[in-house]
Structure 1
């Protein structure tokens, strides 16, 4: 399975080869690093922990967890099958090159927070008539339940906090990939605000850049005897 972390940038349009315009969302996906691989034997399930972004410093426990990678801004965990996680190793880099135009992906993000809202905006209630005995009741919810049960049944649609929820949109097409700019152009709208974190997942084989093997220092030959120092000569 392909996956990468990105941030929502803006909405724009791109053109297909036939000249038709497509509304797309620009997603900036900087290279991600595999920070940890979880297995069934040790953790009870299979997943990979992906790190993205940089920050100046982290707490000591996090610094120990990210040893060899460095301080990162974001950590996210993605569930995989044992077969999908087998070729991965800590330190592998994931870039936008793993995606190609035409890939169908699902994007997970957090919707914009709307604060505390009433039933008209939150649930689409029609509201009450403006006249015919109604006063200051236009946007009120009305009766909240039957009188016989003497309580409000669970699940009743009422005012409350709206937005700021995790939303996944599936069947979105990758229209274009800009490798030098680390950018994906995804068809349609994506939940969240600008600079909001996104998790992009699609079918297919994941392409990674393997972590470089540590370079062993060259051995210094031992010197058995110190070289002789020529005696200083004096001139008359």
Structure 2
């Protein structure tokens, strides 16, 4: 009788030991899986269309800087970039800064800009987000002596480098140019003419404030009709974001 009782106690002890070992093994597998979790990716802008700037571990501390729709701009050490809020479920620690440091906008931001170029042309533009792309509508007018012309463009902006103090971006667009009567910009005969153009530019902007920046731009316009002339210029640009 005593032997049967001892066997039962031994069987229960072995069962408890096996269950304990199983739990430890499951926990170890979970830890290994977590340690091999895929890294998170920071993007240059608030869209998957922007290139990835860096990969970061999923167990780091992120500091939110700005929110735009479902995207959050964060700082991780010396790096900063945009991450979709769904990715934050993978992050165990997200440090929220003071309200003054966090800029939230439930709607897409609109950035207005003014420019003055070496061609004595003044420009106005609106930059905004459409279909997950940063787009720009630009209008230029020049009345230098008798060389009067106008141009209206629509194109895409792309950020190549973005930091807390400055950014480097590019633009590619197309539109129409109006050569006023007597102007030789796009007509050798000085005819009044409306013609298609393509345009490109690159610029470096310095961030004076969260919503205000000043930039230096190199730009060019290529006529696709008329005298097919190409005109390049340098411009100073002021930008304010709402």
For this structure pair, what is the TM-score category when the shorter chain's length is used for normalisation? under 0.3
Task: Give 1 or 2: higher helix fraction.
Answer: 2
What TM-score does the superposition give when structure 2 sets the normalisation length? 0.24
Give the TM-score, by structure 1 length: 0.24
Higher relative contact order (CA 8 A, sep 6+): 1
